[in-house]
């Protein structure tokens, strides 16, 4: 589904990513681990088409991303969800509005928005807090809201950038369980993390250090 082939990202003279190649198949769950500054977020940004590789090829569902016209970029972004360590919720809107936001700004119809939002909220188990404002929620709950927002376009792939980085161990486990559950329903997941404790299960592990992928780390 997503192929990175010899992807290199340079900023000025320094290599942020150097000759990174890997692939994520349909319904796969992969961990992306490595120290701070290794380039994990950069890889996710490349896949999300936020960062243009300096060289190398990115193939998305059989198509070369370099050939995407710029107006197709938003359409690709709707097919993959993203979540972050800092949740990126809008503080001035409640839970329901935050999730609905992703649909409203992509031109969905009102009826669809309501139905899809409620469904996403129930998938992540936060329906009961739908009128709460973000600051009234715990970190784990906020991340659930962010996940719900990422789900409204029914993505094939969910990019998670240290989603448990700000959470206590218990909430982190719950979020991982939720992601695993989504994965079982068919969503491929690429999760960047520092948290070695969470890296378990029959998942692909991509180790990255100073912009380079360490060889043969599959389990």
Partner 1 sequence: MGYALREALSSLRRTGAGVLLSVGTIAMSLFILGIFLLVTFNLYGAVEQLRTRVEVEIFLKDGTTARQIAALKKRVAEMPEVQEVRYVTKEMAAEQFRTAFGENLLEAVPENPLPASLRIRLTEVHRSSEGAERVAKSVRKKPIVEEVAYGETWVRRLDQLILIFFAGDLVVGIAIASATLFVIANTIKLTVLARRESIEIMKLVGATDAFIRRPFFFEGLFQGFLGGLLAGIAIYLLHRIALLYLPHLVLIDGLYPALSLVAVGTLLGVVGSHKSLKRLLDSLG
Ligand X SMILES: Nc1ncnc2c1ncn2[C@@H]1O[C@H](COP(=O)(O)OP(=O)(O)OP(=O)(O)O)[C@@H](O)[C@H]1O
**Placement of tokens 């559950």 in the chain:** 181
Residue nearest to ligand X (CB): 41
Does residue 31 contact residue 189 with C-beta atoms inside 8 Å? no
CA distance 175 to 101: 22
Q: How many residues form the binding site for ligand X (CB under 6 A)?
A: 10
Q: Which is nearer to partner 1, 49 or 198 (CB)?
A: 49
Show the tokens assigned to 51: 């960062």
Considering only 57-65, 76-84, 160-168, 170-178, which stretch makes contact with partner 1 by CB under 8 A?
A: 76-84
Residue ranges with strand state E in 25-134: 29-33, 55-60, 63-64, 80-84
Say whether residue 12 binds partner 1 (CB under 8 A): no
CA 25 → CA 96, 156, 193, distances in Å? Answer: 32, 10, 20
Q: Which does 36 bind (CB under 5 to 8 A by kind): ligand X, partner 1, Mg ion, none?
A: ligand X
Interaction of residue 193 with ligand X, rule CB under 6 A: no
User: From the list 10, 15, 57, 104, which residue makes contact with partner 1 (rule: CB under 8 A)?
Assistant: 104
User: Quick one: how many helices (H) and strands (E) in the chain?
Assistant: 6, 10
Looking at residues 101 to 120 of the shown chain, list those that interact with ligand X (rule: CB under 6 A): none
- Please list every residue from 150 through 169 that binds partner 1, using CB under 8 A: 150, 153
Rule CB under 8 A: choose which of 20, 47, 149, 161 binds partner 1.
Answer: 149
Q: Is 168:141 a contact under the CB 8 Å cutoff?
A: no
Number of residues counted as binding partner 1 (CB under 8 A): 21
**To the nearest whole angstrom, how small is the minimum distance from the Cβ of residue 19 to ligand X?**
15
Which tokens go with 74? 């938003």
Q: Which helix (H) or strand (E) holds 61?
A: none
Q: Look up residue 211 and give its two tokens.
A: 């912009």
Footprint of ligand X (CB under 6 A):
11, 16, 34, 36-42
Footprint of partner 1 (CB under 8 A):
50-51, 71, 74-78, 82, 88, 90, 92, 101-102, 104-107, 149-150, 153
């Amino acid at each position: 589904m997503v192929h990175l082939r010899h992807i290199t990202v340079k900023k000025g003279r320094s290599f942020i990513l150097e000759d990174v190649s890997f692939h994520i198949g349909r319904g796969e769950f992969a961990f992306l681990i490595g120290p701070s500054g290794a380039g994990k977020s950069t890889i996710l940004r490349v896949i999300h088409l936020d960062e243009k590789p300096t060289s190398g090829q990115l193939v998305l569902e059989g198509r070369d991303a370099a050939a995407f016209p710029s107006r197709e970029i938003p359409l690709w972004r709707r097919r993959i969800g993203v979540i972050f360590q800092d949740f990126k919720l809008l503080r001035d809107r409640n839970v329901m509005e935050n999730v609905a936001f992703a649909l409203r700004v992509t031109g969905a119809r009102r009826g669809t928005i309501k139905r899809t939002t409620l469904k996403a909220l129930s998938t992540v188990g936060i329906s009961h807090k739908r009128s709460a404002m973000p600051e009234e929620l715990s970190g784990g709950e906020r991340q659930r809201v962010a996940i719900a927002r990422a789900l409204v376009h029914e993505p094939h792939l969910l990019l998670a950038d240290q989603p448990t980085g700000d959470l206590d161990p218990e909430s982190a486990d719950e979020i991982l369980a939720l992601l695993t559950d989504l994965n079982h329903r068919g969503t491929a997941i690429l999760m960047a993390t520092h948290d070695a404790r969470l890296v378990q299960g029959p998942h692909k592990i991509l180790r990255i250090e100073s912009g380079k992928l360490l060889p043969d780390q599959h389990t």
